[in-house]
Amino acid sequence: MPRKTMFVALRDLSTKDCVLAVAVTHWIFNRREPADPRILFVLLLLVPAATSLLLFLHYGTILGTVLAFSIYHASLIFSVVLYRTSPFHPLARYPGPFLAKVTRLYWTRIALAGRQHIEIGRLFDKYGDAVRIGPNEVHFRDVSVMQAMLGSKGMPKGPMWEGRALKTPILPLVGLRDNTTHSRRRKPWNRAFSSAALKNYVPVMAKRGSQFVELLAERREVDFVHCVHMFTFDFMADALFGGGSEVMKDDDKDGMARSVKTSFLDSQIYEHLPWLASLARHIPGVGEKIKRFRAMCTQRGISRLEKGSSTKDLFYWLSNEDGSEKENPSRSLILSDSALAIIAGSDTTATVLSILVYCLLAHPETYERLQAEVDKFYPSEEDSLDPKHFSKMPYLEAVINETMRLYPVLPSGSQRSPERGSGGFFASQHFIPEWTSVRIPIWCLHRDPRNFTRPDEFWPERWLIMDGLEPHSEVLTHDMNAFVPFSFGPRNCVGKNLAMLEMKVVAVHMLQRLQLRFRKDFDPTRWEHVMEDRFNLLVAELPIVVERRF
C-alpha cells in the first residue's frame, strides 16, 4: 500500500474509532452519570489516549495526542449537551433552566451558596410544580406526588447519601437504597424510639436540660445557637453512647460540637458531585473534616461497645443487647450509624429550638401566651422537667408545629430515586425513569397558599383553630398531608418522638425559669434572610439576654 494511501486509511480508521468511542462513552454518561473514579479514568483518559495512538504516524506524538483528546472530548460534550437538551431525553417534558439540563454544576453552585430553598421557590413560580434542576433530577411541589414518593410503596433514597458518606462501604440507615435492607436495619431503631423506650431517655434529658438552662442563666448574654448545639450534642452523646461528652461544661473547647456543623457543610459538595466523594475518600487532606468527625464517632462507638451498657441507650438496641434479633449485627454495621445518630439527633433539634426562641422573641404576643400556658401547668414549685402535663398543653404543640412549618429544618427534603432494576416509578401522573433523582422541597410545600392560609406568617393559632380549640370566622386552608417536617412513610425520621419530647422539655423548663430578650444591637428582621439551606437549615448567631424569673 502506498504511504499516502496508508495515512489516509489510518486517519479514516482513527476517526471512526473516535466516533465509536464517543458513542459508547455517551451511552454510559447520558443517563448513568458514573461516579467511580476508575470508570471516569478509563472513559475520559484511557479511551482518548488509545485513539491518539492511531494519529502518531501522521501528526506526531504531541499533535496527535492533542487532536485525539480535543476531538474526543469536544464531540463527547457536544453529544451529551445535545441529548440532554433534546426532546428525546426522558425528562424533556419537565421545564427548567437551560444550564440545569446541561450540567449538575448549575445547581451545585446554588447549593454551595445555601440558596436552594429560595431559588427552587422562584423556579416553581416561573415554571410550575415540576422543575428539572439537573440533567437527571426533578423537583416537585405537589402533595399527591409526595405521597406516592414517600408512602409505603414509595421510592428508596437517592444517591446523595453515597456522596455525603464519601462512598463508605457500609452506608448509614438514612442512605440505604435497597428497601429490604432498609426495613431490616430500621427494626432496632424502631425499638429504640418506641413509646416504652422513650422513658429511658427522660432522666438524662432532664439532667441535661437543667444543665442547659442553668448555663444560660449564669452567662446572661449568650449566642443561643451555640449554647443549644452544645446541649443537644451532650444529650445525644448520653442517649447514644451512654455518656462521654461534656461540651457544655468546657464550652466545646475541643470543637466536638462544632465538628457536626463543619462536617455537614463540607459534605454538601459531595452530595451534588458524588464522583468527587470517591476521590476524597482516598486522597489525604481532602474531605478531612468529614473524615475526622466520622473517626471521632467511630471511636466513641468502639469505646461504648467495649464497655457494654449501663443504661438502655441507643447502642443497647443497635447492638441487639435486648436479644430481639436472632443474630447480632456486625460491629462495622453498628458503627456505621454513629455519625448519623449524632448529626440527626443534635443538629436538627438544636436548629428547631433556635428558631423557636427567635419566633417567640420576634412575636411577643406568642411568647406571652405560651408563657401563660407554661405557668398554668408548671408554676414555680412544679418540676418543669417532668413531661406529665405536656399532653394538656395545646399551645406548646402549636408553637412547635408552626416553627417547623414555617422553617422546616430540611428545607429541600430528602432525595429519592426509583429502585435499581425497577425500570421506573409512577408518582401520581408522573413517570419517574430509573436513574432519575427527585425531591419535594418541604420549604416550598409548607409555604404554598394551596396548602396553608397565610403561609408566610408565623401564626400558631392556626393549629388550635383546626383542632376546634379556638373560634375563627374565616375558612382556613390547612392540609395536614402537606405538613411533613419529619417526612413520612417507612423512611421518615425514626427519632421524631424523641425530638418532640426533647424540644418540649427544653422549652417548658426554659420558659418557667428564664426571661429572654434579643440583645439590643440585634436586628431580627435580617435573621431569616441569612438562613442557608445546607441540606439541614443553617442559622446565624442568635444573641439574647437572659434573666432568671425566680
Give residues with Cβ within 8 angstroms of 237, minimum separation 6.
243, 244, 245, 300, 342
- Write out the three cell numbers for 375: 405557668
| 359 annotated to a ligand binding site | no
**CB distance 333 to 170 below 8 Å:** yes
d(CA 130, CA 145): 10
The HSE-up count of residue 124 (CA atoms within 13 Å, CB side) is 21
d(CA 175, CA 420): 14
d(CA 199, CA 194): 9
Give residues with Cβ within 8 angstroms of 239, minimum separation 6.
201, 204, 205, 313, 314, 345, 498
Measured from the Cβ of residue 365, the count of other Cβ atoms closer than 10 Å reads: 7
* Share in percent of the chain as helix, strand, coil (round to 5): 60, 10, 30
Phi and psi, residue 158, nearest 5°? -85, -175
d(CA 80, CA 371): 60
Binding-site members are 493
- Residues annotated within the binding site for heme are 493
